[in-house]
Amino acid sequence: MTLVHIRREDRLWWVGLDRPDKHNALDQAMVDELDAVLNEARREPSLLIVHSTTPGMFAAGADIAELRDRDADAALLAINAGLFERLEAHRWPTIALVDGPAFGGGCELALACDFRIASPDAVFAQPELSLGIIAGAGANWRLPQLAGLGTARRMLYAGARVGAQEALAAGLVDEVADSAEDLNERGRAMAATIAKRSWRALELTKLALRSRRPATTTFDLAAQALLFDGEDKHDRMTAFLERRNR
Ligand code: COA
């Protein structure tokens, strides 16, 4: 593993996003590593804590350099959406610790976890529409489900950046730590509380709650495939990579 740092404390797995030079942008290689971790972790009872190894930066989203070159066919592969489905389907609870920006796919990654604990400097945003695409890896339905339609609309349509306290009030995060340094302890404490309970009952409760998920994934996939082939997306992503309009 080169882009994901794993540390195990008994049944608690710390899954650290570890691509500091690109603000943890999720590229195919990182997706593959995270998939490998999920495959391994599901073999025996485990709680996952998804965090960043870089203080002050959770994740800046899907890798725009790779996204720019993906076509409709690649969109239908559901690379990030599929990973987040598998993360959501981890057999036991998962917690995201968010310090700094969780943008685009970074926000969607946090949304796919069962819980989110934010540092006071956490910021959540879905900038996809400024790049000519939709937030196709779950935000279209996980965001309104957690934070309500109003917050989801402001984030998706208007690109609103939502800070830790606002996220807490909206239900987008479950707790705000006193400081970034306090974040790991808060995650560990939440995990310890959950780990005292029955693993089997936890697993079955997760399955029960999953039956409440809305089924808009198919629409998101088809819509993203349409947009991935567009010139608008290509031009906007090129502008980001060449640092225009920023
Ligand atoms: N994909 C690919 N590369 C990314 C990236 C992404 N999503 N986000 C950041 N990077 C890269 C930058 O290109 C830059 O690389 P370089 O040093 O080789 O030029 C490096 O990471 C640092 O990013 P930079 O933008 O210089 O940092 P910043 O501190 O000025 O800004 C952000 C931080 C998060 C505000 C900014 O990086 C950003 O807006 N990222 C894109 C967010 C986004 O639109 N995500 C949705 C993707 S679908």
Spell out the domains of the chain, with CATH numbers in brackets. 4-195 (3.90.226.10)
- How much is the pLDDT for 245? 59
pTM of the model: 0.97
- How much is the pLDDT for 212? 77
**Cα 212 to ligand 1 centroid, rounded to whole Å:** 34
- How much is the pLDDT for 211? 83
Mean pLDDT, contiguous 10-residue spans, the chain (246 residues): 96 98 98 98 98 98 96 96 97 98 98 98 98 97 96 98 98 98 98 98 95 81 95 96 78
- How much is the pLDDT for 243? 87
Beta strands of the chain (E only): which ranges?
A: 4-9, 12-17, 47-52, 94-98, 101-103, 115-118, 123-125, 162-163, 175-176
First to last CA, the chain: 33
- How much is the pLDDT for 246? 58
Q: Check pocket membership of 186 for ligand 1, CB cut-off 6 A.
A: no
Specify the residue with its C-alpha closest to ligand 1, atom 44: 127
